[in-house]
Homo-oligomer: A and B are copies of this chain.
């Protein structure tokens, strides 16, 4: 069970944006350098963040990205789901032959994974971007 880089980077980048939110649009080049993430990869991530209205873009020179909402209103769950697809602990949905759906009823462990899913999502749900920034405000920069 592991986290993918897209989710990890997205949260990092959003946190970076939150820290520098008073300095106008932040370019991905800046974020790339500060957080040590590939620029081209960040571009892909930000397209998704933009689609979810988490950030606003400013094109052209001196452009960049700005948070759409204040950091205290942005849930981590929103960021993760925007780029990292989803938490997949259940197996039964996709007609897999193995393990599940063998008897057209739910497998022994279905409820367990379902609860796990909720447990993880509730974690991301209750943490806001602001919660990350506070702790790192004085460390970074």
Contact = CB atoms under 8 A, between A and B. Distances in A.
B1 A99 contact: no
Interface of A: 1-5, 7-9, 11-12, 15-16, 19, 35-38, 76, 84, 86-89, 91, 97-100, 102, 105, 107-109, 111-113, 115-116, 119-120, 123-124, 127, 132, 135-136, 139-140
A98 B11 contact: no
Contacts of A120: 1, 116, 119-120
A89 B132 contact: no
A11 to B, nearest CB: 5
Given A112-B76, A119-B123, A105 B37 contact: no
